[in-house]
Copies of this chain bind each other. A is one copy, B any other.
Amino acid sequence: MMAILRSAATVENMLIKNSGLQATMDVLHGLPHATMGLRSISSGTSRIRFEPGDPLKLEDLNSNVLEAKYAVRGKIPARAMELERQLSRDPDSLPFKKIIYANIGNPQQLGQKPLSFSREVLSLLESPNLLQMPMEVLNLIYKPDAVRRAKRMMRDLQTSIGAYSHSQGVLGFRKTVAEYLSSRDGEPASAEDIFLTTGASNGASLMIELLCKGQESGVLIPIPQYPLYTATITLNNTVALPYYLDEESGWSLNIDDLERIIIESIEKGVKPACLVVINPGNPTGAILPVESMERIFVIAAKYSIVVIADEVYQENVFEGLKFYSMKKVLRSLQRRYKELFSNVQLVSLHSTSKGLSGECGQRGGYMELVGFSDDIREVILKMASIQLCSPVGGQALVDLMLSRPKPGDESYERDLSERSSIRNALQERSKSLWETFNNLEGVECRKPQGSMYLFPRLVLPQKAIKAAESLDMQPDEFYCTELLNSTGICTVPGSGFGQAPDTCHLRTTFLCPGTEWIESWELFHKSFYDKYRD
């Protein structure tokens, strides 16, 4: 073909004469006629020219997209990737040997092992011919309960993990979710209310897109918040209505503030459409008290605000503490005060990416709808159907995450031990990092209760703040950049999540194994304060 394409040597030839390509297709109109028809291209003679337009510039793009920010993969992580490339070219060119990615909750990137039982089942689902093999061969590789589970899930799939599922997700898997929820909350749950999603982010952005009508609507978000929410709000050209969590009282909610924000917003013509609750908190690591949840539902009921409960860290709760779901609290209120809370709508989000599963790359998740009418559920189903379906492997992982091997199953002991070692490692590292922070000059950090993050407050010296200003940086951005440049530890400045005015924070995961990186952070911090102490 190339020879033919090259044979037309000038634009006039191409646009006026048959280029010869016609011979390759039998359905063409003659080119001269059609091309002459480009009237405004034609200069009135048989010579045809056109003036090419300008190439696309940034200002030609959707301004909502331009304005959206996502700090977790923002400037500092981009700089970290640059440094990583430099290290791979020249391993001795920097004061550290590798990048510690503490900017994102990505457990398996940092060496957390996937749970064997889940992966054995997925491995079988991907190669369904295996299930036809003699058990004595299969059992060399897979535990018998993994084989049984894969067979059950193949029945749920009906055909193949490679077929589009129902847009709401595979019914059998949704039933598993509903069983898990019933047992978690002691409240009935139904597969009809479950939508399997591409991670939790997909559910959150779908609901915000559904509920918000541009600048007439607002989304109440906690500050600090996970920046998916601000990004999605900006992409949807809707209004962020921040409510501050109070750091002094362990990141609790101030209900007076919340109601004041709502009233002011309504007065300005912005209807708060939904309220985001992140529990356990990201980035704060705090667990929301049940009373705060009850108050949120009073607000939700009074002002007809849909509650979006981001509960992806529900399994990441430290010893001695307990996770109560928003749904459990709502059902209890409804039982006691039916008429007052019967109108409340709640969406709860969960994900395979966090917890002890840590399967971020598989993009599994679900949302449970509570209190939605059938016609609204139909609209949600239509939105899901435009995306066709969430990845079926991720859907299967949701089922596997919520239904583990039981006592007596061949994988039970191994699964228990894998899970408790992940849990213990997370808790120990969070403790050790927290203790380190607590001993550092100018750092205040709440005792972690759950999630995968610490969000220490930095009280930075004026000199450091001035140094940041001179580089046109936020003070916390400056600290995080210096930390990265000195130690290879990649974190996210508090400004990426929002924070009270004149405060500085950073978010770090405690997923990275070992303690060396914590020690190198400590050394960096001391020398930073030595350099900038007022």
Contact = CB atoms under 8 A, between A and B. Distances in A.
A177 to B, nearest CB: 18
B256 A337 contact: no
A249 interface: yes
A298 B35 CA distance: 10
A363 B58 CA distance: 30
A342 B162 contact: no
Given A53-B343, A55-B345, 15 more contacts: A1-B324, A2-B332, A27-B252, A37-B256, A38-B256, A60-B304, A61-B211, A62-B213, A114-B162, A137-B141, A138-B141, A163-B361, A202-B387, A361-B391, A363-B392
Contacts of A299: 38
A126 interface: yes
Interface in A219-260: 228, 231-232, 235, 249-250, 252, 254-256, 259
A183 interface: no
A474 to B, nearest CB: 19
Interface in A247-295: 249-250, 252, 254-256, 259, 263, 273, 286-287, 289-292, 294-295
Chain copies in the assembled complex:
2
Interface magnitude class on chain A: 35 or more
21 contacts: A1-B324, A14-B337, A22-B291, A24-B290, A25-B290, A27-B286, A38-B295, A40-B263, A41-B259, A52-B339, A52-B341, A54-B304, A56-B373, A60-B304, A62-B209, A62-B211, A62-B212, A63-B213, A65-B382, A109-B160, A127-B141
Contact of A333 (B14, B211, B382): B14
Contacts of A470: none
Nearest to A335: B6
Contact of A164 (B38, B306, B361, B379): B361
Given A52-B301, A62-B212, A108-B163, A28 B259 contact: no
Interface stretch (A115-123, A422-430, A458-466, A482-490): A115-123
Interface stretch (A66-74, A89-97, A492-500, A518-526): A66-74
Given A255-B34, A255-B37, A52 B342 contact: yes
A162 B361 contact: yes
Nearest to A253: B34
A129 B57 CA distance: 48
A259 to B, nearest CB: 6
B126 A130 contact: no
A432 interface: no
Contacts of A153: none
A124 interface: yes
A391 B388 contact: no
Contacts of A360: 162-164, 388-389
A21 B290 contact: yes
A38 B257 CA distance: 9
Contacts of A123: 123-124, 126-127, 130
A10 interface: yes
B302 A52 contact: yes
A108 B301 contact: no
Nearest to A170: B361
Given A14-B333, A70-B386, A38 B255 contact: yes
A394 B123 CA distance: 14
Contact of A70 (B120, B122, B385): B385
A359 interface: yes
B298 A38 contact: yes
A116 B127 CA distance: 8
A329 B303 CA distance: 57
Contacts of A416: none
Given A50-B340, A386-B70, A252 B28 contact: yes
B19 A291 contact: yes
B52 A14 contact: no
A180 to B, nearest CB: 17
A256 to B, nearest CB: 4
